[in-house]
Structure 1
Amino acid sequence: MTAYEGRNSVCKVERVMGRGMASPGSMIVDRKESHFAMPKIIPSDVKRRARFGAWLFALAQFGYPIIGNIAALAHLENRTLSILFRVVVALYAVAGLYLFRRIRLDPWRLGMLFIWACYLLRLSHDYFVDGIEGADYSMQYFIAGSVLPALALWKSDTFDQSRYAWAGFMTCSLGCAMSLVGDWLGAFGYSELTSTTGRLSTESLNPISLGHLAASGILCGAVLCEASTRRLRALLVFVMAGLLLVLLQTGSKGPAVALIFALAIWAVRRGHLIKILLVSVPIALLLSTFNELPLLSRISGAEEDLSTLERVVLLNDSLQQIVASPWVGSSSVELKSGHYPHNVFVEAAMALGIPLASMFVLIVSRGAMVGWHLIGTRSNLLGMLFVQSLIISVTSGSLYGSTLLWLCLILMFGMRTSLSTKNDRSLGDAAS
């Protein structure tokens, strides 16, 4: 067999031999292997499912800030656009559920289904029986934003790191760029939080959401830099610098901690520690001279941060509520304040009871093991985003709003096909 020339060229198979193979033109040969390696044959249906999954993942997790910015720029009612956006995401996911007919069952994702069913029962009880305000919104948000997209990704059963990273990077960059430019131009109008604290936000988007959006974009960009040309890498770094500026302007400590942890683990597992230090140390020294940046101001005044103190009180009240009803839970919110406790593990025990919360902890722990393995492979994006989602979940997350956590878990558990890993074990091997 003659050697293939060109590392990234792809060609259609003119003729497919063998029983049970697809028709001519329905398979694709990937020539990214070495000159003496056999070409990798990838069904075109797999690529279609990978494209679908990448954009569903990006829209479900990173798409709302774009809608929020549009609402703020046009001075429209945000709740209407938010509901419309969730409906679009849900319909997109339902289309995937219809198109991808096969579903492979495994114990970890079945455990997630059981947790979802019990949580939906709790939200239904809170709304119809206890009359808790906001329980209906939480239920709708959870179904449209997490459950349906996760089920569609489960049925697509395909992960292509390059497609997921590009879709996530472009969506995050667009949302952050709209926020930054709109704030500079004063197009968002009056925002009480921005006017009193200087943190980047709008009436539709809080600074924590924008901070996590910027952090996710940086993680996607870091993955893309690994396999890009020098010119493309320079462009990616330029955009990532803008994302870092958005993160600093939001003044959100949680997203900054999540980004640092995810990049540190990635650097150690992938052997990029020296490179990260060479880049991060000069940046840290430069930023230390700008004390007026909201994030640096909040870090220096952490002992006076009222929001942190309020969350400590909320967490303490939630723990007391768990003690009062440890077996089946009592409510999806802390009853004194009417808010979720900003920690998914505490919320799980409070809403579902300690036994089901223990099951949830076991599922997340298994996800952490899989994520740790994946960060050391060429499918490291999922592991890095999982680290970020885990930190979000324990610092400011809720069960109904932890879309990134649910989507990362559903993708990591049981995947068999990965277009981006040629010499590593498949995601299915990692999760089995």
Structure 2
Amino acid sequence: MVFNKYKMYVIAFFGAIFFTFSGYYVLLMVGNNTIGPQLSRYITIPLRVFIVLLLGICFLLVGKKKSFKQLPFLAFLTFSLLYLLRIALEMLKGTANHISNESFLLYFLSFGFLPFLILYLKEDLELDQKLYRSAMLISGALLAIFTLLFYRDLIGTVGRISLAVSRDENYISPLALSYSASLTMGISLILLLSKAKGVSKWFLLVVAGLSCVPFFLGASRGSVMALIFPFLLFIVNQKNKLKSFYLLAALVFAGAIIVILSSYFGSNIIERFTSIGDGIQSGSSSAERIVIWEIALEHFKRNPLLGFGLESPETGNYPHNIFVEVLLTTGILGFIPFVYLVIKAVLNALFIFKYVPHKAWIGLIFLECLIQNQFSGGIYTASWLWFSMAFVLAADYKVNYMQERLDYIETLDEERMVTHGR
């Protein structure tokens, strides 16, 4: 019976992580290339409900934490209630958004609210981190393999996959490819740099190498920034400054390899970076995003306390920056608890980088997801951000670290006593 319960927990927790992150796009990719692009219309919501059910099973199997930090929990509840209030107000006013207000509600509950709540309150197990790491690496590796299988003819021929595959064909979002690959590459490389145990370095190198395929076919500027900045923070927060220097040199070397591989893959990712200034002047997507932010912030200025709405009517969409979106939808009242959650999670991630480097991948996942949501994604669909934030906030790494140090000191004292015959 114990074995069955353990096995059920492993399957449920692994499955929840797998389908929350890259596994979701693996399913879409396989479906689009075998059944057709209409598949995505039928699996998005059922799959999200399935993920919540898997997390719910995990919660029932292990129960609630005996104690947990109240302030992050209260901050999340405060923000969530204000966001749900905004959705309710939009429903009452009959506001027409780019999707129905009911969809906003269903998406937020299944993508953000319930997963965060369950993960934060669920009893933490040592097994969780192993399952988290394994699911992330395996789902990312599968995404890279299927990208190579289905889109290998595009390698070296197009700057971005969307230039060759339309939405009526075997379409897959270039952002999904690029951000998923960036996350997989980041986890693999930081596990190598931090010399974490339990994963073969050759497996990590192969996974990182394969992930170059979706990374360059997706060609997203945001994914490059999401990959680089966490590593810079990891390097800065090393206690050994000589090690920081070596890691910085390794990062520069990796950057040079990315530039070379970009040319080999025919990706326009470097060109998209170097042409940002020209893009803004010519009114490309770079300029459009800035205009969207400006419009949303203007609405916030006129409605600073509770915000304006779920999106700006002028653009017919959310702002594509989660901080701007929080101001637009919940105003200052929602912005304060949300920023507290982010700052608390960032500090936890930096603590892990400095004092628990073999678990740095946990902090990296959150930071990559946070950076991603500065350029794309919305509050109601930010499943990666809510999941990774809950994971970073749920475990008290400072307490665990101090306990490990105390146990280590006690062990040394016992050894000294035995040595001196006391």
TM-score class, shorter-chain normalisation, is 0.7 to 0.9
The equivalent position to 1:340 in structure 2, one of 296, 318, 331, is 318
Give the C-alpha shift of residue 242 in structure 1.
1.5
Asked if structure 1 preserves the Cα contact closer than 8 Å seen for 2:162 and 2:174, the reply is no
Asked if structure 2 preserves the Cα contact closer than 8 Å seen for 1:344 and 1:397, the reply is yes
1:370 aligned to 2:348?
yes
Partner of 2:36: 75
Give the C-alpha shift of residue 294 in structure 1.
2.2
What are the superposed Cα offsets for residues 347-373 of structure 1, whole Å, 9 maximum, x if unpaired? 111111112212211221121111111
Give the C-alpha shift of residue 396 in structure 1.
1.6
| Cα distance in structure 2, aligned partners of 1:254 and 1:138 | 24
| Cα distance in structure 2, aligned partners of 1:197 and 1:308 | 21
- Which SS does the other structure have where 1:413 is aligned? helix
The equivalent position to 2:125 in structure 1, one of 151, 154, 158, is 158
Give the C-alpha shift of residue 199 in structure 1.
11
The equivalent position to 1:412 in structure 2, one of 388, 392, 397, is 392
Which deviates more, 408-417 or 248-257? Answer: 408-417
1:395 aligned to 2:375?
yes
Asked if structure 2 preserves the Cα contact closer than 8 Å seen for 1:50 and 1:158, the reply is no
Distance 1:162 1:99, change over 3 A: closer
| Cα distance in structure 1, aligned partners of 2:168 and 2:152 | 12
| Cα distance in structure 2, aligned partners of 1:399 and 1:126 | 16
1:126 aligned to 2:100?
no
Aligned residues: 379
Partner of 1:4: none
Structure 1 segment 324-339 matched on structure 2, within 5 A: 324-339=302-317
Partner of 2:270: 296
Structure 1 segment 176-191 matched on structure 2, within 5 A: 176-184=144-152
- Which SS does the other structure have where 2:352 is aligned? helix
Partner of 1:357: 335
Partner of 2:196: 227
Which deviates more, 46-55 or 405-414? Answer: 46-55
Distance 1:388 1:277, change over 3 A: same
Which deviates more, 237-246 or 300-309? Answer: 300-309
Asked if structure 1 preserves the Cα contact closer than 8 Å seen for 2:227 and 2:368, the reply is yes
- Which SS does the other structure have where 2:329 is aligned? helix
| Cα distance in structure 1, aligned partners of 2:6 and 2:77 | 25
Partner of 1:110: 74
Distance 1:229 1:139, change over 3 A: closer
Partner of 2:228: 260
Question: Which residue identity lines up with residue 172 of structure 2 in the other structure?
Answer: L
Asked if structure 1 preserves the Cα contact closer than 8 Å seen for 2:305 and 2:332, the reply is yes
| Cα distance in structure 1, aligned partners of 2:172 and 2:90 | 26
| Cα distance in structure 2, aligned partners of 1:285 and 1:168 | 25
Give the C-alpha shift of residue 223 in structure 1.
4.3
The equivalent position to 1:217 in structure 2, one of 184, 189, 197, is 184
Asked if structure 2 preserves the Cα contact closer than 8 Å seen for 1:68 and 1:82, the reply is no
Asked if structure 2 preserves the Cα contact closer than 8 Å seen for 1:386 and 1:408, the reply is yes
- Which SS does the other structure have where 2:319 is aligned? coil
Question: Which residue identity lines up with residue 112 of structure 2 in the other structure?
Answer: S
1:312 aligned to 2:273?
no
Asked if structure 1 preserves the Cα contact closer than 8 Å seen for 2:37 and 2:168, the reply is no
Asked if structure 1 preserves the Cα contact closer than 8 Å seen for 2:119 and 2:390, the reply is yes
Which deviates more, 155-164 or 404-413? Answer: 155-164
Identical amino acids, percent of aligned pairs: 20
Partner of 1:429: none
Distance 1:275 1:177, change over 3 A: same
| Cα distance in structure 2, aligned partners of 1:249 and 1:359 | 37
Asked if structure 2 preserves the Cα contact closer than 8 Å seen for 1:253 and 1:295, the reply is yes
Asked if structure 2 preserves the Cα contact closer than 8 Å seen for 1:55 and 1:164, the reply is no
Question: Which residue identity lines up with residue 66 of structure 1 in the other structure?
Answer: V
Asked if structure 2 preserves the Cα contact closer than 8 Å seen for 1:162 and 1:224, the reply is no
Which deviates more, 103-112 or 269-278? Answer: 269-278
Which deviates more, 98-107 or 331-340? Answer: 98-107
Give the C-alpha shift of residue 322 in structure 1.
0.6
Task: Give unpaired runs (5+ residues) of structure 2.
Answer: 408-422
Distance 1:343 1:260, change over 3 A: same
1:62 aligned to 2:22?
yes
Structure 2 length normalisation: TM-score? 0.79
| Cα distance in structure 2, aligned partners of 1:204 and 1:179 | 11
Distance 1:48 1:85, change over 3 A: closer
Distance 1:141 1:348, change over 3 A: same
- Which SS does the other structure have where 1:165 is aligned? helix
| Cα distance in structure 1, aligned partners of 2:316 and 2:167 | 26
Question: Which residue identity lines up with residue 21 of structure 2 in the other structure?
Answer: Q
Higher-helix-fraction structure: 2
Give the C-alpha shift of residue 204 in structure 1.
5.1
What are the superposed Cα offsets for residues 367-393 of structure 1, whole Å, 9 maximum, x if unpaired? 111111112213212211121122112
Distance 1:201 1:383, change over 3 A: farther
Indicate the RMSD between aligned Cα atoms, in angstroms.
3.5
Give the C-alpha shift of residue 272 in structure 1.
5.8
Give the C-alpha shift of residue 416 in structure 1.
4.9
Distance 1:181 1:162, change over 3 A: same
Question: Which residue identity lines up with residue 295 of structure 1 in the other structure?
Answer: I
Partner of 1:170: 138
Which deviates more, 81-90 or 97-106? Answer: 97-106
Structure 1 length normalisation: TM-score? 0.77
Partner of 1:37: none
Distance 1:374 1:48, change over 3 A: farther
Question: Which residue identity lines up with residue 182 of structure 1 in the other structure?
Answer: F
- Which SS does the other structure have where 2:211 is aligned? helix
Asked if structure 2 preserves the Cα contact closer than 8 Å seen for 1:50 and 1:156, the reply is no
Higher RCO, 1 or 2 (CA under 8 Å, sep at least 6)? Answer: 2
| Cα distance in structure 2, aligned partners of 1:97 and 1:391 | 29
Partner of 1:90: 52
Question: Which residue identity lines up with residue 156 of structure 1 in the other structure?
Answer: E
